[in-house]
């Protein structure tokens, strides 16, 4: 510690802008300030841009934390969580929180952000009307989404559409109301707005444009919305996402100059020399900002001033807009209004759903709108920022960088061709040169390192691919994009490589895999052998001979081992349906073999527990007499298809859910999968079969069958993702089978479908199963082929004598020796 | 103490990389046959929670317990890796495929 006390820096607000400012400040002037932060939200600094992926379920809150508690401790920051500052006393230079904490400051930074705009209509205070701003809002939406009822999102801008997509992904029936004729009119021209609306509607979200909300209906809780034209839209949740306004109230009460936002100069200084403001609450050069790139620029400027460098100044620049809705790609930057002296180049590809428009003035790009294919966004933006004269390449400009000057289509080459000052990360304003410089000077080798040192791809992550390409270019072969986790200690290869090589090298036995892939052990281990056995069964169903000794005991003896070494037996009950004959046969088995416990399972069947291994074949023989086959309750394979009673019985049923469940189970039983696979079919959205937490689920609706997948209700709890809606039972079966086959071919052994889906991305699965008919059929056909070899009842095989050594001791010795 | 060799069967009764059980008055013995055609006999009782080791996956000269994946050396009976524990090994002889185990306590048990 120095003799002079540290200067006291107090920050009001703990969002992304002050967080970034502190990072820069600690780098520029370490140890200069004692920092105190008051955060009205009861948590640390997280990435607000990523709230939409949290809402849609693609990310968890923990994944979007920017500064964990450890960071505050490491930098000696006092963080008051859940403390709202009520007053600033500029004379005494103190601030006071709603919990009565008063702190004095030498320098004060106001970063109170923004508040959502609430449209002043009757009913705006009803329960169920919320905004979309912070994690609490997301949690409120997730809670509301559990009802799977109707939601209305007011506002068809960036935030509103992201909220709508998230709620829809969570199973709500969503309508977007937008006051203008086309969506996102501030960032998109009408043509792109139209394409966007079509894409949004294709996902099942209703869009009403030119919609003026008259009032929100309901007594205590919201029940619907009434529009000016008299239309009424029922809803149990209303999300207002019509815009934000700077949160400048505190500054105004303290007597600082406030216009739309807190007025600051280009150095982020307010009208009080000891108080700065930055972020969404600040107004600089008459503008207020809401996108992260300019806010981070403010943070950089503020940090420089706090560190004593008075030269830093904020300058306005256009920020590209991207929508974070999985499966919808759009990009816009600059000015693209029609005006005199402007020309435009437009490319449309209706079948591929692509629209690109460049707005030119004096042979320079001044605006860009890209929809569908946004790969060249960064390049167009670079030309725009640079003011490059494009007359030389005008004819091919719209086709993108790859078509210019005969340069190759290799994406790495395109990145190599970018100049050093080309912007790679728009959120954090990081250019190529800075990334390359950090990699070489600091010896960085991993993506995480590069993120930590440069911030590139550390916010929205959409430039991760570009950053990785730069790393490949800079590091050459030493960069290993995904340092893989080896399968086990027997090999350095990861599961994905092994799967790929099994196919590529046509390896068709475990010894062949171990030989060709240079296994380090002669015989493998209990981790890799079952995995290899599965991969081979899956990839070569007709040629590979199952290696019985590489299966876990349950799959070897077709029953579930219990803690005392006895087994449990679960016969298949198709779709959870049984009858008196079957129940009588089970009762007889229970009596004959003194079965200690009979238990109904969660998958709608009956479990007989405590059966001695030696008795298994006899138990199966009796069950087989009554028509039972193995329920494969022990398998990494298809387990149950749970159903509700559906339209045959239920007054709410929309389709024959029981029949469909049985049909799926009869079609798919016996198939091995990377991990267990549990399914369900519910006859209506009331979802009595709990299909929305299964590996694969179906919700029947009047218009057809909504296919769900990637749910979990075990170690993790996760609602399903919606794959899509199909009209007929046949289509439902085809899609489910194709999805399962894709999972079978791609997942790592023991990886449940939700983890696989998270890894490969919902987009890709959606594209291959929903959009690509040929691919889907091919998956379906491969599954059907493999079933020819898989659908053999293992119980009846063993009743007929297969593996009989397994069920009896080799010898019994010692008991009668004295007598003999 | 006399070694009491008792015939338990033929090596081909056990699958390669597999095991069979032998019942005795003092509990089950697991008899293993490795990929290299070696045979081992240990108590069929994992030192961890008593899992039946004869039901595990055999790899090299070790077996992985089916209950909680402890790996037990067939040669020493000791748990491998980070786990600590040990099962009794039982002497076994392979006379051209005819297998014998030696049970010192067995004579006692039978005589009583």
- For residues B54 and A723, what is the distance between their CA atoms, to the nearest angstrom? 44
Answer with the residue of higher pLDDT: A291 or A139.
Answer: A139
Contacts of A119 (CB under 8 A, 6+ apart): A154, A213, A240, A242
d(CA A223, CA A217) in angstroms, rounded, equals 5
Residue B71 CA to residue B76 CA, distance in Å, equals 12
Give pTM, 2 decimals.
Answer: 0.53
Residues of A in contact with B51 (CB under 8 A): 563, 565
Spell A96-112 as b/e; 16+ CB within 10 A means b.
bbeeeeebebebbbbbb
For residues B77-92, give the mean pLDDT.
92
Task: Give the pLDDT confidence score for residue A816 in this predicted structure.
Answer: 59
Helix residue ranges per DSSP H, A313-405: 377-386
Output the CA–CA distances (angstroms, integers) from residue A41 to A88, A135, A241, A658, in the order listed. 19, 9, 20, 48
DSSP single-letter state for residue A770: I
How large is the greatest C-alpha to C-alpha distance in chain B, in angstroms?
41
DSSP one-letter string for A204-219: T-EEE-S--EEEEEES
pLDDT of residue B109: 46
How do A7-12 and A107-110 pair as beta strands?
Answer: parallel
Looking at every residue in chain A, the average pLDDT score rounds to 89
Q: State the average pLDDT over residues A257-279.
A: 94
- In 3D, which of A446, A485, A488 has the Cα closest to residue A464? A446
Of A557, A563, A809, which is closest to B21 when you measure between CB atoms?
Answer: A809
Nearest chain A CA: its distance from B8 CA (Å): 5
Q: In whole angstroms, what is the distance from residue A739 CA to residue A755 CA?
A: 14
Q: What angle do CA A540, A545, A548 make, to 5 degrees?
A: 125
Interface test with B, best of A553, A612, A802, A803 (most B CBs within 10 A): A553
Query: So what's the pLDDT on residue A11?
Result: 96
ipTM over 0.95: no
At A251, list the tokens: 């500054």
Q: Is the dihedral of CA A721, A726, A728, A730 positive or negative?
A: negative
Interface of chain A toward chain B, CB-CB under 8 angstroms: 521-526, 529-530, 548-554, 557, 561, 563, 565, 805, 809-815, 817-818
Q: State residue A8 phi and psi, 5-degree precision.
A: -100, 115
pLDDT exceeds 90 at position A357: no
10 Å Cβ neighbour count for A505? 12
| Predicted confidence (pLDDT) at residue A9 exceeds the cutoff of 90 | yes
Quick check: helix, strand or coil at residue A452? helix
How sure is the predictor about A483, in pLDDT bands with cuts at 50, 70 and 90? low
- Read off the pLDDT of residues A273-300 as tens digits, 9 standing for 90 and up: 999 999 999 999 988 988 888 899 999 9
User: What pLDDT is attached to residue A516?
Assistant: 82
Per-residue DSSP letter, A767: I
CA–CA separation, A150 and A169 (whole Å): 13
State how far the Cα of A258 lies from the Cα of A255, in Å rounded to an integer: 8
Residue A3 in this model has a pLDDT that exceeds 50: no
Tokens of A295: 């806010």
Q: Which position has the higher pLDDT, A466 or A684?
A: A684
Q: Quick one: pLDDT at residue A109? A: 96
- For A275, the token pair is 């108080």
Q: How does pLDDT run across A385-440, given as a tens digit for each residue?
A: 888 888 888 877 888 876 665 444 455 666 777 778 888 887 778 888 999 999 98
B15–A548 C-beta distance less than 8 A: yes
**Chain A closest CA to B66's CA: distance in Å?**
7
Give the residue from A517, A442, A439 showing the smallest Cα distance to A479. A439
- The pLDDT value given to residue A407: 43
Could A549 and B28 be called an inter-chain contact, meaning their C-beta atoms sit closer than 8 Å?
no
Average pLDDT over residues A694-712: 96
A279, A260 contact by CB (below 8 A) = no
Nearest Cα to A117, choosing from A244, A289, A214, A238? A244
DSSP state of A768: I
Position A351 confidence tier, pLDDT thresholds 50, 70, 90: low
Residue A181 has pLDDT above 60, yes or no: yes
Mean pLDDT of A465-476: 83
Q: What is the DSSP string of A617-670?
A: HHHHHHHHHTT--B--TTSSBEEEEEE--GGGT-TT--S-HHHHHHHHHHHHTT
Mean pLDDT of A252-257: 94
Confidence (pLDDT) at B22: 94
What is the SS3 assignment for A28?
helix
User: What pLDDT is attached to residue A484?
Assistant: 64
Residues of A in Cβ contact (< 8 Å) with B43:
none
The answer to whether A470 and A438 are in contact (CB under 8 A) is no
Mutate to test the interface with A, among B6, B27, B48, B55 (most CBs of A within 10 A): B55
């Amino acid at each position: 510690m120095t003799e002079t006390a540290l200067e006291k820096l107090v920050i009001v607000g703990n969002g992304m802008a002050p967080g970034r400012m502190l990072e820069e400040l600690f780098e520029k002037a370490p140890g200069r300030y004692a920092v105190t932060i008051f955060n009205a939200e009861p948590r640390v600094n997280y990435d607000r841009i990523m709230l939409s992926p949290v809402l849609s379920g693609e990310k968890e809150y923990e994944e979007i934390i920017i500064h964990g508690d450890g960071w505050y401790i490491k930098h000696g920051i006092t963080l008051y969580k859940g403390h709202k500052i009520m007053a600033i006393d500029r004379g005494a230079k103190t601030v006071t929180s709603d919990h009565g904490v008063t702190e004095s400051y030498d320098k004060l930074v106001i970063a109170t952000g923004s508040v959502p705009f609430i449209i002043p209509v009757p009913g705006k205070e009803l329960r169920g009307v919320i905004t979309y701003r912070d994690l609490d809002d997301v949690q409120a939406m997730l809670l509301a989404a559990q009802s799977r009822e109707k939601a209305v999102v007011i506002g068809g801008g960036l935030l509103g559409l992201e909220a709508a997509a998230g709620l829809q992904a969570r199973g709500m029936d969503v309508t977007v109301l937008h006051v203008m004729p086309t969506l996102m009119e501030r960032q998109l021209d009408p043509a792109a707005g139209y394409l966007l609306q079509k894409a949004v509607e294709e996902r099942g979200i209703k869009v009403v444009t030119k919609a003026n909300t008259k009032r929100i209906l309901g007594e205590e809780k919201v029940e619907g919305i009434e529009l000016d034209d008299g239309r009424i839209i029922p809803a149990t949740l209303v999300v207002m996402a019509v815009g934000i306004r700077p949160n400048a109230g505190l500054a105004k009460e303290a007597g600082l100059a406030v216009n739309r936002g807190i007025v600051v100069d280009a150095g982020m200084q307010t009208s009080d020399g000891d108080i700065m403001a930055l972020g969404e609450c600040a107004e600089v050069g008459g503008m207020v900002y809401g996108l992260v790139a300019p806010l981070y620029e403010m943070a950089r400027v503020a940090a420089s001033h706090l560190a004593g460098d008075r030269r830093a100044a904020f300058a306005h620049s256009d920020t590209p807009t991207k929508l974070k809705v999985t499966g919808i790609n759009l990009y816009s930057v600059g000015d693209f209004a029609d005006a005199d002296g402007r020309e435009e180049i437009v490319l449309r590809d209706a079948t591929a759903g692509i629209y690109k428009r460049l707005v030119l003035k004096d042979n320079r790009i001044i605006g860009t709108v890209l929809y569908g294919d946004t790969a060249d966004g960064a390049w167009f933006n670079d030309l725009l920022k640079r003011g490059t004269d494009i007359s030389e390449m005008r004819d091919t400009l719209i086709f993108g960088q790859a078509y210019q000057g005969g340069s190759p289509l290799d994406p790495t080459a395109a990145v190599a061709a970018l100049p050093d000052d080309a912007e790679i990360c728009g959120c954090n304003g990081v250019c190529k040169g800075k990334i390359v410089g950090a990699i070489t000077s600091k010896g960085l080798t991993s993506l995480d390192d590069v993120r930590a040192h440069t911030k590139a791809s550390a916010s929205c992550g959409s430039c991760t691919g570009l950053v990785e390409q730069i790393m490949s270019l800079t590091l050459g072969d030493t960069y290993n994009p995904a340092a893989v986790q080896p399968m086990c200690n027997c090999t350095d290869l990861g599961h994905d490589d092994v799967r790929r090589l099994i196919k590529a090298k046509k390896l068709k036995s475990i010894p062949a895999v171990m030989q060709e892939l240079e296994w380090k052990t002669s015989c493998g281990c209990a981790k890799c052998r079952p995995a290899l056995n599965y991969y081979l069964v899956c990839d070569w169903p007709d040629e590979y001979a199952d290696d019985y000794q590489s299966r876990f005991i349950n799959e070897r003896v077709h029953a579930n081992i219990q803690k005392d070494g006895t087994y449990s037996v679960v016969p298949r009950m198709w779709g959870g349906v049984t009858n008196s004959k079957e129940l009588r046969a089970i009762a007889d088995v229970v009596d004959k073999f003194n079965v200690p416990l009979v238990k109904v399972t969660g998958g709608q069947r009956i479990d007989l527990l405590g059966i001695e291994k030696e008795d298994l074949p006899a138990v199966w023989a009796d069950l087989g007499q009554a028509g039972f086959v193995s329920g494969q309750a022990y398998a990494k394979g298809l387990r149950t298809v749970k159903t509700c009673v559906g339209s045959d019985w239920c007054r709410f049923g929309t389709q024959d859910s029981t029949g469909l469940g049985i049909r799926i189970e009869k079609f798919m039983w016996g198939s091995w999968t990377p991990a267990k696979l549990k399914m369900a079919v519910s006859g209506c959205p009331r979802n009595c079969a709990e299909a929305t937490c299964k590996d694969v689920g179906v919700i029947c609706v009047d218009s057809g069958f909504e296919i769900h997948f990637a749910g979990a209700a075990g170690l993790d709890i996760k609602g399903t993702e919606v794959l899509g809606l199909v009209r007929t039972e046949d289509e439902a079966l085809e899609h489910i089978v194709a999805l399962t086959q894709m999972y079978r071919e791609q997942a790592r052994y023991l990886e449940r479908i939700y983890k696989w889906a998270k890894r490969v991305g919902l987009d890709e699965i959606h594209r291959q199963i929903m959009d690509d008919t040929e691919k889907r059929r091919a998956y379906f056909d491969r599954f059907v082929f493999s079933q020819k070899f898989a659908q053999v009842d293992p119980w009846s095989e063993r009743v007929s004598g297969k593996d009989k050594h397994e069920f009896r001791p080799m010898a019994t010795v010692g008991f009668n020796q004295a007598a003999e | 103490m006399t070694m009491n060799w008792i015939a338990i069967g033929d090596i081909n009764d056990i699958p390669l990389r597999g095991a069979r059980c032998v019942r005795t008055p003092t509990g089950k013995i697991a008899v293993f046959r490795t990929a290299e055609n070696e045979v081992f006999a240990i108590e069929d009782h994992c030192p961890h929670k008593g899992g039946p080791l004869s039901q595990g996956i055999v790899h090299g000269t070790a077996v992985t317990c089916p209950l909680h994946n402890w790996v037990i050396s067939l040669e020493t009976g000791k748990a491998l890796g980070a786990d600590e524990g040990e099962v009794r090994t039982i002497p076994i002889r392979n006379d051209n495929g005819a297998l014998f185990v030696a049970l010192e306590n067995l004579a006692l048990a039978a005589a009583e």
